[in-house]
Structure 1
Amino acid sequence: MRSLLVVTDAWHPQINGVVTSLDRLACELRDIGMRVEFITPLSFKSIPMPSYGEIRLSLTAPAVVRRFMERYACDHLHIATEGPLGLMARSVALKTGRVFTTSYHTRFPEYVRARFPVPLSFSYAWLKRFHNAGQGCMVATQTLDHDLSSWGFRGLMRWSRGVDHTRFRPMKTRVFSDLVGPVFLYVGRVAVEKNIAAFLELDLPGTKVVVGGGPQLDELRQRYQQVRFTGPKQGDDLAACYAGADVFIFPSLTDTFGNVLLEAMASGTPVAAYPVMGPIDVIGDSRAGVLDNDLRTAALKALDINREHCRNVAHGFTWRASAEQFLQNAKKAYQLPSNLEKPRGLDASNSTALHP
């Protein structure tokens, strides 16, 4: 396999784990000589997604997406998201008999339920139909694998994540030296599904810091005026925030992995989180963090964790290993029965696997 085409509705300038994972995947595969192409919202007119203004919904047609796919002529197709571009690429692939894989990055049923009274069973039924049509759905953790299996997802493949150990590292310069310590840090999207208020409500010594932007930022700034809100940070500025904190707080109950957990650990900063999907898989019994249903207890206990140990645990996760795992999954897709679940109305003759 010499070339890969990734179709994604999540792309720059968004700052999130999906974009980071795909970006680093492309870098690693190009380093080993593969050609990697993308179809993203940057190529089309788009509109902001309601309640998620940073996410752009592409305005195009399947025929246009098909022309992009034919122009790139890549060996393997990977559909990373379930948005408009993902839906159109899936439709084209099924009609033309293209082998493709998908990946499950975001627990959208839980995100939707946090905003609207939509039953989980409805959302998961739709997502299951989307992903089961391919030759494999890549998931980041064992916990997510078990969860999706219980909803009827098939062909699940493991695709873990990595961290840039050069960028995210311990630093002598303490960016929060003007704050009363200890410093408890959150990094990520500032939105209701991230459960940030559970962190901000904790009775903790020192100072709480929130790094990131999102639809809930203004609301939380007004409610918690004693908290330092920095807005979004990237690159070395973000790395300095991780390294300058005493404990990284991860209050989310809905993330599938949590790349930020690895970034904090690589910076030498211990983690405090709930014992849920993501932290269970990344932190587990590594002693690089504390998992507890009482987040305050976890935060205070994490203060005693050796920072060098956190860094050492993070060294077990690399982007090269992540890319190699992805590549093995893509190759395996050509050994599996084509179209694990065919959509209604498609003729079986259109579902023959194509081999590069």
Structure 2
Amino acid sequence: MVASLWFFFWLASLGALQVFALSIRLLANLVLFLRRPKDLRCTYGAWAVVTGPTSGIGHAMSLELARSGLNLVLVGRDPTRLREISETISRTYAMQTKTVLFDFSLVSTAQGDEAMSRLREAVAGLNVGVLVNNAGVAKPGAVYLHEVDVEAWVRMIRVNVLALTEVTAEVLPGMVRRGRGAVVNIGSGSGSVLPSHPLYSVYVATKRYVAEFSKSLSVEYQSACIDVQCQIPFIVETNMVSSAVKNSFFLRPWVLSPDAYARAAVRWIGHGTLCIPNFAHRLQWWFTCLFPDSFKDMNLLKRNLQHRDIFRRIKPLRETRANSRE
């Protein structure tokens, strides 16, 4: 009986210490929200380069950066949407814009080399102070690795890893010459916080690359006064997030609009190498840390298998609609 009480006391104490440690980390990070945002134009430079600016987080961050007083080089694959966001920025904020047509799934090919040359020409002579590597793909979604043709995974790696690396390598030399700059890479909570993300294995691996890449670059370029940051969003209401997640009873309160995320994200530029900019997402991170990895793995697998079933039902409907439009 006494041994059982001591064991219970030991477990309770261990749990209390864990909650206390996590609470201290949460409070320490929450203090950062009180810091004033940097004047990005004065601190880094007059221009920002944003990849994937035509929808979701990239679209919202482009508008927020323009509101902060930065001119923008907008890099994406859809010429119509690039023109629309460019005109919106010019009309609403009277900032200068340039657009570069670049399909990141073609990076490291002849067409990708041509697009990289266009980007090089676009930024030549500009005082590029901020680079936001936002472009990314999550399709084909929740599937087992063997259920999808390998080309889909190659495309994901090209967009999420190779393109981000090449664009960064293209923009960094100018920042080094000027002795200032900020590189912001958009990661994911699935790649930096969760122990695993079953059925999204390639996606989560690419996002873990983004986090590790950012951490090492931050150390490399600290002496050059260049801030390298990986921002870690959890669930944001974008095209990359399935309707099953958006409409989940348990997850819906944690889903942010792109505009809400962007407001916090721009304020956090230059503050920390790995960061979770939004308060709601930081609370979600804190809550997630309370559970053991085995519990999270089990529940993620169960949830993602449900998503897989939904995608498998939806896919034939989408193909039927696409064929009817042809």
Q: TM-score, with normalisation over the residues of structure 1?
A: 0.35
Relative to its length, the structure with more helix (as a share) is 2
Relative to its length, the structure with more strand (as a share) is 1
Q: TM-score, with normalisation over the residues of structure 2?
A: 0.37
